[in-house]
Amino acid sequence: MKILATADFHGASGAEKYLSKFLERGYDCLVLIGDLTQFGPLEVAESLLELTKSANVKTFAVPGNCDPKQMLQVLDKYGVNLHGKCVKHEDVTFCGLGGSNLTPFNTPFELTEVEIQEELTALPCRNNEKFVLVTHAPPFGTKLDQIKAGTNVGSKSIRQFIEQKQPLLSLCGHVHEARGVDKLGRTLVVNPGPILKGFAAEINIPVEGNPSAELLQL
């Protein structure tokens, strides 16, 4: 399976153009890892989802911390909502959680670590299942959650869940400057970087064996 992973649109008009360009490469699946808008409006996300609909590519999405909570209704409307759900596509199960752990900025969609733990625990995924975890926030203490000052700002609950469940792949965003690839046990963890700057990631999941990731830039 060939996956296009994108995150952090923040309502930028250029981000939609970049997505259109990336989709020309041809993918089996598209994952939108949150912050489709910058505190709204929801019409911005609808425009983006109309683009993915016209591209006729299987799409999964979670909201980010900068998306209003009403974003869930928009994602449901387009049939792409992965927040709090597990959905099987071909032989891979995608499980998701939107929003982020608490930030200093009081953004619209934030969760405590306890709430994140409860939401993740409720996901109907199994340890032996071939699954992908999609969370807007990155796991704590990796290359993918370090801000410029070097501080780790990711979620400890997400990290704990990954260490316990060991999904094949974990996709995240949120921390723009922490674009990259890391490993937690057997789990490949990827932050594609903000698409508003022309960044994305291409993931290949073979029928057998481990996934691989290539960071993309336009």
Q: Are 20 and 46 in contact (CB under 8 A)?
A: no
> Where residue 128 falls among pLDDT bands split at 50, 70, 90?
low
- Summarised one tens digit per residue, pLDDT across range 153-192 is 999 999 999 999 999 999 999 999 999 999 999 999 999 9
DSSP 15: H
Q: Does residue 188 contact residue 213 with C-beta atoms inside 8 Å?
A: yes
Domains of the chain are 2-217 (3.60.21.10)
Per-residue pLDDT tens over the stretch 131-140? 999 999 999 9
Residue 13 is predicted with a pLDDT of 87
Quickly state the pLDDT bin for 124 (edges 50, 70, 90): confident
CA distance 19 to 16: 5
Q: Residue 202: how many CB atoms within 10 A of its CB?
A: 18
Compute, in degrees rounded to 10, the torsion defined by CA atoms 70, 72, 78, 84: -170
